[in-house]
């Protein structure tokens, strides 16, 4: 059974979903690939959801750089390889779609890697926002380019709270 709750973030409302095995989704309100909660049960006390919310609080306050919530992400083996590569990107760093394809030993699969990145069901925690176009352009984020920019600014700031206080995005 998938359980869900809403989390009020500086970027707006996030929908968090979890199974008994771990966090299975973290979606923005108008996330491009979100399929809905029809078969899910609302439960803000689910242990994985509570842990995720606590860690998101720390992240947005600039006190957390690595998430350690268990994940239960459904995807193909290729998508799993791409998502694992994303999780190895350090806080505050960026990469390119091409570099991710190379990292998974499939350097010609740049477009496929981009598609897998775009289908990441656990935004922020699996940091797809850290991937840029080859020219350094902000592109292709299911939560929108403004949110991607905010997350990169939050991570590049030595004082995470400062980005929030400057009101980069009203949530």
The residues annotated with a catalytic role in the active site are: 128
Q: Kindly give the interhelix angle for 77-87 and 110-118, rounded to the nearest 10 degrees.
A: 80
CA 10 to chain CA centroid, Å, is 14
Half-sphere exposure of 24 (CA within 13 A, CB side): 18
**Interior CA angle at 77 toward 75 and 80, to 5°?**
65
* Unique residue bearing structure tokens 């797809």: 128
Both tokens of residue 156? 């590049």
């Amino acid at each position: 059974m998938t359980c869900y709750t809403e989390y009020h973030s500086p970027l707006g409302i996030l929908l968090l979903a979890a199974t008994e095995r771990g966090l299975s989704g973290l979606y923005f309100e108008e996330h491009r690939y979100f399929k809905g909660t029809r078969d899910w049960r609302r439960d803000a006390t689910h242990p994985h959801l509570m842990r995720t919310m606590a860690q998101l609080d720390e992240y947005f306050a600039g006190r957390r750089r690595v998430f350690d919530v268990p994940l239960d992400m459904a995807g193909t083996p290729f998508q799993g390889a791409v998502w694992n590569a994303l999780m190895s990107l350090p806080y505050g760093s960026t990469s390119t779609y091409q570099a991710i394809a190379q990292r998974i030993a499939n350097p010609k699969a740049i477009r496929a890697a981009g598609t897998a990145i775009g289908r990441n069901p656990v935004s922020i925690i699996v940091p797809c926002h850290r991937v840029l176009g080859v020219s350094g352009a902000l592109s292709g984020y299911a939560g929108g380019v403004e949110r991607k920019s905010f997350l990169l600014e939050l991570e590049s700031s030595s004082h995470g709270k400062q980005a929030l206080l400057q009101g980069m995005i009203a949530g």
